[in-house]
Amino acid sequence: MTAKLSVNLNAIALLRNRRDLPWPSVTGIGRLALEAGAHGLTVHPRPDERHTRRSDLPELRALIDDEFPHAEFNIEGFPDDAFLDLVEANAPEQVTLVPDDPTQPTSDHGWDFATQESFLKPVVARLKKRGFRVSLFAEPDPAGMDVAKAMGADRVELYTGPYGSCHSDSEKAAKELEKLAIAAEAALALGLDVNAGHDLTVANLPGLVSKIPRLAEVSIGHGLTADALAYGMEETVRRFLRVLGD
């Protein structure tokens, strides 16, 4: 099984938003990524619109529908009513629910499924009723995977931030990889598919893929965008795809 690559466009949008100008074009860069072989696009539209804006979503939905019908649109976010309305208006193939506070600079932890079950369960049901695949952002911990499954989730996305932060400590990286592998096995045994994301790079992705060979999807933004400054978006996407074995 080869994991699919979804390119997170938030860093592109953040660069655009530094000026009151339409470039770099989030939709245009998304097109380059898909032309290079990316399997989908991810956005995380936060309430303050500091990167992806609500107005970006219809354009990205149209890009996929009109030019790349086999690609997928993944919308991430905290499931308040405004977010759920936005999701329903833009019909992504996948919705990834994250426990972000609006003031967080980026996602930095997964759900506590045991304590958040009563909040998440009706949200998952609402999204599943509309036909969306639902993924829940999860800690690299097997505890609570049974709750995620019972709530009706299709997938979990393992938070790989602690692993990504070990770029100069191979011993620590090996320990974090083991945690991720154990969590993935627990999820897979329950029938959940496993995604992964946060601080993944061309350098650390091979270890993850080796430890979780049944990985369904990786969502990569910051590291991929950083590489695109050196290699260009299309070549960068191809580099990540080669690591994934595609």
- Kindly list the catalytic residues: 44, 76, 198
Compute CA distances 57 → 53, 129, 169, 217, 233, whole Å.
Answer: 7, 21, 38, 21, 20
**Is residue 67 within 8 Å of residue 32, measured between CB atoms?**
no
What is the three-class DSSP state of 106?
coil
> What are the residues whose beta carbons fall under 8 Å from the beta carbon of 15, sequence distance 6 or more?
24
Helix (H), strand (E) at residue 5: strand 4-8
Gap between the Cα atoms of 138 and 179, Å rounded = 12
What would you report as the CA-atom Rg of the chain, rounded to the nearest whole angstrom?
Answer: 17
Cα–Cα distance, 13 to 23 (Å, whole number):
9
Encoded tokens for 137: 């952002």
Longest dimension (CA), the chain: 49
